Amino acid sequence: MSAVPTPPDGGAAASAVRPETAALALFGDHVLDRGVAVSTGGVVTALGRLCIGEHATRTALSRMGRRGLLRTVRRGRQAFLALTEHGTEVLRDGQRKLDGDIVDQHWDGRWTLLSFSVPESRRADRHALRTRLGWFGFGPLRSGLWVSTSAADVSATLAELDLLDRAEVFRAEAFRWTDPARIAAEAWDLPAIAAGYSDFLVRWADGAFEQLDELSRRVLLGAEWLQLIRRDPVLPAVLLPEGWPGTRAMERFRALRGGWARQAGELATDVLESIVDD
């Protein structure tokens, strides 16, 4: 594996993303559904190009292992990392989000309402549920009442957290004086989400991060986009402010990501020592 010089301002680039998110972007691009395991040292080298330090990378990889996303494959003294079944499911879901639309084009006007009550003694489960509901596109409308414009099925998440008997789900339409746009404005911080997309457009203007190679740029781009879309419920246009910047940001993201795909793949082959995961 060849040594790679540190980019002059790679630290500024990496400061926008968490090491674990960068690792997820790397594994999503170069490990997912390829039937391979990659060397720990290769991942350290790849993220090191973004000035993410070795300790931070190894800590992130250990955390991903504890979360059941990665497993270790030994070849002699060398350790390789492969995706678990759970990790594969998580990354496939992430890839669907990366490839999906930023505005819902098929909303039927109905809402999904999820009501739940979790006792204080199960605070950790309550926090986990709220985090996952956000990923599924739900937003908190009232205490214990979350809403979504999609018909996302969260029963598996509720079952995993042993909360099925503490939640009820409904599909309904806004009625009489209830304004759907007001519901959206109350359930989600749309100005903050819009600001994130606007900042992305500025940060990834033409010529951005030219000091980085295509592999590093694509990892950084994917990691930043993952952080943005985690907050975005993907609402229909009728509920969004006029001139929604998410649309332009998505176009920019797809153009850049596609343009760097071939070169990033070639660099990954050189940097990420891999073995067949059997």
Instruction: Return averaged pLDDT per consecutive 10 residues of the chain, 278 residues in all.
Output: 43 72 95 95 95 95 96 89 95 91 92 92 91 92 92 91 92 93 95 96 93 96 93 95 95 96 95 89
Q: What is the pLDDT of residue 265?
A: 95
pTM of the model: 0.88
β-pairing verdict for 145-148 and 36-39: unpaired
Closest CA to 246 of 202, 196, 208, 206: 196
pLDDT for 144 equals 87
Q: Cβ neighbours of residue 58 under 8 Å, at least 6 residues apart?
A: 40, 44
pLDDT of residue 77: 83
**pLDDT for res 2:** 39
Question: φ, ψ for residue 197 (rounded to 5)?
Answer: -65, -40
The encoded tokens of residue 271 equal 């940097």
pLDDT, residue 67, reads: 94
pLDDT of amino acid 9: 52
Q: Provide the pLDDT for residue 221.
A: 96
Alpha helices, DSSP H, located in 8-105: 10-14, 19-30, 40-48, 54-66, 85-99
For the chain, list the domains and their CATH numbers. Answer: 1-105+188-278 (no CATH), 110-173 (3.30.70)
Per-residue pLDDT at 17: 86
Parallel, antiparallel or unpaired: strands 110-116 and 167-173? antiparallel
Contact at 8 Å (CB) between 92 and 229? no
Q: What is the pLDDT of residue 143?
A: 86
Q: Are 111 and 187 within 8 A, CB to CB?
A: no
Residue 39: phi, psi to the nearest 5?
-70, 145
Structure tokens at 40: 């720990």
| Residues 272 and 30 sit within 8 Å (Cβ to Cβ) | yes
Q: What is the pLDDT of residue 11?
A: 54
User: What is the structure's pLDDT at 253?
Assistant: 96
